[in-house]
Amino acid sequence: MDMPKNIFKQRLREGQWQVGLFVGLRNPVSMEILAGTGFDWLVIDAEHTPNNPASVMMQLQAATPYPVQMLVRPTSHDATLIKQYLDAGAQTLLVPLVDNAAQAQELVRAVRYPPEGIRGVAASLSRAARWTGIKDYVRHANGEVCLVVQVETRQGLDNLDAILAVAGVDGVFIGPADLAASLGHLGDSAHPEVGAAIEDALVRIVASGKAAGVFVTEPDLARHYRSLGASFVAVGGDTTVLRNAAVKLAASFRDAKPDSGAAS
Ligand code: 3PY
Ligand code: MG
């Protein structure tokens, strides 16, 4: 078996437009449904949901037959946890709350085997290596791993240029919800100060030559961010998609009236 190519990373490098969705339902069946819906990428969220390496692995397995790129967002920067997600088969990690270059540098090391990094080696126990079924997995893994860091605090913005200078960071993704909170506008990511900070960050990321991404739910705003050079966007989450569709469906039948001629 050959090493799976990290298409997400390749497209990041080429600046291709990639549209993604956050996935929080923690269910292989809903994951498989989503995997065939046309998104370029899906990110399994283990930051805000009780996902763990076992639940993440089952969702990665469900999505594998589909032409969608899978990301995992861990809950922390813990290198041992990151190792488990990589061994489960994640090739791209979206790491939240990266505030400075030292953290980014540690993450670069966490996702790589020595000598570049500190990732532990056990191909025989690792789904990523297809339990040694992938030829020379350990020699190819560093080349296919992709690290996207989230900058989403005032401190992260202050240190953005230093974070961008860290080799091995492939992209920076702006999280408007945490950024709004950090800037004193909790719950109001549409606040003009937040919008201006996002625009400034995207421009700086693009100027550095790294890929710029952002969470954005309005198509017009996504077009605007694209015009600034953003190349990958998350446009919502599965939990919201499900809730909104269910609320709408229930409401659309609640007031259903019998036809005027029908017996009452
Ligand atoms: C945020 O908005 O804070 C996120 O992490 C996701 O976009
Ligand atoms: Mg966030």
Cα of 22 from ligand 1 centre, angstroms? 10
Asked, for residue 257, whether it belongs to a domain, the answer is no
Residues with CB under 6 A from ligand 1: 96, 150, 152, 175-178, 215
Cα of 42 from ligand 1 centre, angstroms? 14
Asked, for residue 135, whether it belongs to a domain, the answer is yes
Residue 89 pLDDT > 80: yes
Range of the domain at 73: 7-252
Q: How many CB atoms lie within 10 A of CB 191?
A: 17
Give pLDDT tens digits for 110-133: 999 999 999 999 999 999 999 999
Catalytic site residues? 48
Asked, for residue 1, whether it belongs to a domain, the answer is no
C-alpha 181/C-alpha 176 separation (Å) is 9
Residue with the smallest CA separation from ligand 1 atom 1 is 175
User: What is the pLDDT confidence band of residue 259, given thresholds at 50, 70 and 90?
Assistant: confident
The single-letter DSSP state of residue 50 is -
C-alpha 120/C-alpha 234 separation (Å) is 31
Q: What pLDDT shows up at residue 262?
A: 57
Asked, for residue 214, whether it belongs to a domain, the answer is yes
In percent, the amount of the chain with pLDDT more than 90 equals 96
CATH number at residue 238: 3.20.20.60
Give pLDDT tens digits for 141-194: 999 999 999 999 999 999 999 999 999 999 999 999 999 999 999 999 999 999
Asked, for residue 263, whether it belongs to a domain, the answer is no
Average pLDDT score over residue span 50-60: 98
Asked, for residue 133, whether it belongs to a domain, the answer is yes
Give the number of domains in the chain. Answer: 1
Q: What pLDDT shows up at residue 113?
A: 98
Q: Which helix (H) or strand (E) holds 34?
A: helix 28-35
Asked, for residue 91, whether it belongs to a domain, the answer is yes
